[in-house]
């Protein structure tokens, strides 16, 4: 009986655990300051993000070229970019990976 209880407890714990980076995507910080009107951007596998609030996360992530990150974001509509290399977004979560 105890074995069954222990087995059920382990299965329950494994099923109920949420992955730490669920809802986040892999990205890499890139320094585009050499281009007119550009700064740091986040390169994803399929697109580039131009975050409007990247500096808000400078205390918990090294904002340097090549830094690999986990990122969660939402698209910002109605804003134009001088840099024009990617989609303008607001970062809602950023962690080093």
The answer to whether residue 86 sits within a structural domain is: yes
The answer to whether residue 9 sits within a structural domain is: no
The answer to whether residue 14 sits within a structural domain is: no
Q: 24-55, pLDDT tens digit by residue?
A: 999 999 999 988 889 999 999 999 999 999 99
The answer to whether residue 7 sits within a structural domain is: no
Per-residue pLDDT, 19:
66
Which residue range(s) make up the domain with 80? Answer: 20-96
Q: Are 79 and 52 contacting, i.e. CB atoms less than 8 angstroms apart?
A: yes
pLDDT surpassing 90 at residue 22: no
User: Structural domain tally of the chain?
Assistant: 1
Q: 5 to each of 10, 15, 30, 41, 45, how far by Cα in Å?
A: 9, 15, 50, 50, 44
The answer to whether residue 8 sits within a structural domain is: no
């Amino acid at each position: 009986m105890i074995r069954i209880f222990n087995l059920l407890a382990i299965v329950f714990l494994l099923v109920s655990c949420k992955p730490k980076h669920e809802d986040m995507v892999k990205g890499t910080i890139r320094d585009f300051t050499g281009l007119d009107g550009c700064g740091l951007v986040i390169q994803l596998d399929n697109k580039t993000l131009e975050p409007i609030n990247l500096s808000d996360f400078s205390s918990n992530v090294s904002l340097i070229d090549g830094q690999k990150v986990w990122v969660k974001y939402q698209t910002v509509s109605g804003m134009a970019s001088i840099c024009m290399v990617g989609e303008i977004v607001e970062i809602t979560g950023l962690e080093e990976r």
